[in-house]
Amino acid sequence: MLLRASAVALAGALTVSAQAPQRPPGFSERVDVARIIVDARVVDGAGQPVLGLRADDFSVKIDGKPARVDSAAWVGGDARADQEPLESFHAIDPARSQPEGRLIIFLFQKSLEPSRIVGLMRMLHEGRDFLNTVAPNDRIAILSFDSHLTIWTDFTTDRARLEPVLRRGLLLERPSAVQAATPISLVERLEPSKGRRTYSIEKALQAIGEALEPLPGPKSIVLFGYGMGRLGWGGVTMDRDYEPARRALLAARASVFSLDVTNADYHSLEAGLQLISEETGGFYARTHLFPATTMRRLAGALTGSYVLFVEKPESQRRTHTIDVDLTHRKGTVMARSSYEG
């Protein structure tokens, strides 16, 4: 997402101020600086969020060159009292101000293969327990993919609607008609009829990304899956639908957290899960040995993220790499690895 902020019109953490010398009437000087938004999640060695970071705690490189971080604001829960609030960003785009609570999608990739169905059932149980850790104003939607994309619930804060889907509905029942939620809806832009025409997990992710893009703020997609890509003689290659899915997720500021349900220490199709998580600012984890530990790690990562406003360098390149690290504190940073434009 690109932003253009006037250095004369805006002040404070979001801007670069410039005082022009006195000019005769009728003349003015204006400096425009292009910026990009980078959502960065930072966790410590125990998987818990690192709080209290500011702009100078981050080091960002674009195409291998240092880029100035103008400001950093925390979005999520457990913020420190001295943390810069997100409200200071609303001056840039009031129409897309951040809603209260997090937006989280549970996406279950279903398969009846023995090496996968056991893990899926295990993670459905873990998902029910996870509902007890979210805040009252967090909104969660549940979707699944087998031969096509199925929508079970729109974004909701009602845990009583979510729990039955995870307990038995997703495996044993057919979904009921889903009505668009208010004021924030996924179904409004992703109708069930469109889901029924989505025939690959990559296409499903693309459709979800496109539906999420108009919604403000960062989003999280928890993919309980078994793999992406095509296995051939040369190994795993990504389907041609992967690139449109990646672009849609990046445009939506949606990070994918891939929780592998396969009962194996390694399998070929995990490469696709690892790739989509790395490129969107999430993480990949196997779940067949210590699922509860993985869910605690997930809870820490989803606690919140830092919204970084980074000066965009002038360049003719279409795709740019992004590297985000810490300067003064210790921790692991999860952020998207590229942007377009």
Q: How confident is the model at residue 32 (pLDDT cuts 50, 70, 90)?
A: low
| pLDDT of the residue at 316 | 80
**Given a cut of 60, is residue 300 above it in pLDDT?**
yes
Q: What percent of the chain has pLDDT over 90?
A: 75
Dist CA 167 CA 71 (whole Å): 43
Q: What is the mean pLDDT of the chain?
A: 87
Q: Helix %, strand %, coil % for the chain, to 5?
A: 30, 30, 40
- Read off the pLDDT of residues 179-189 as tens digits, 9 standing for 90 and up: 999 999 999 99
Section 24-50 average pLDDT:
78
Q: What is the pLDDT of residue 76?
A: 87
pLDDT at 75 over 60: yes
- Which whole-number Å values give the CA distances from 131 to 89, 99, 134, 148, 156, in the listed order? 30, 20, 6, 25, 12
Q: Mean pLDDT over residues 199-223, rounded?
A: 97
Q: Pairing mode, if any, of strands 284-286 and 254-260?
A: parallel
pLDDT number for residue 158: 96
255-282 per-position pLDDT tens digit:
999 999 999 999 999 999 999 999 999 9
Q: Retrieve residue 251's tokens.
A: 């445009």
Residues with Cβ within 8 Å of residue 186, at least 6 apart in sequence: 105, 141, 151, 154, 155, 208, 211, 212
Domain spans of the chain, in order of start: 2-20+31-97+305-340, 103-303
Tell me the CATH number for domain 103-303.
3.40.50.410
Residue pLDDT, tens place only, 169-182: 999 999 999 999 99
Tokens 């989505």 — which residue? 198
Quickly state the pLDDT bin for 33 (edges 50, 70, 90): low
Cβ neighbours of residue 118 closer than 8 Å, sequence gap 6 or more? 263
**pLDDT given for residue 6 in this prediction:** 39
C-alpha distances (whole Å) from 146 to each of 49, 100, 200, 201 are 33, 32, 8, 8
β-partners of residue 32 are: 6
With a CB cutoff of 8 Å and minimum separation 6, the contacts of 10 are 91, 92
The amino acid sitting at 27 is: F
Please state the pTM of the whole predicted model.
0.86
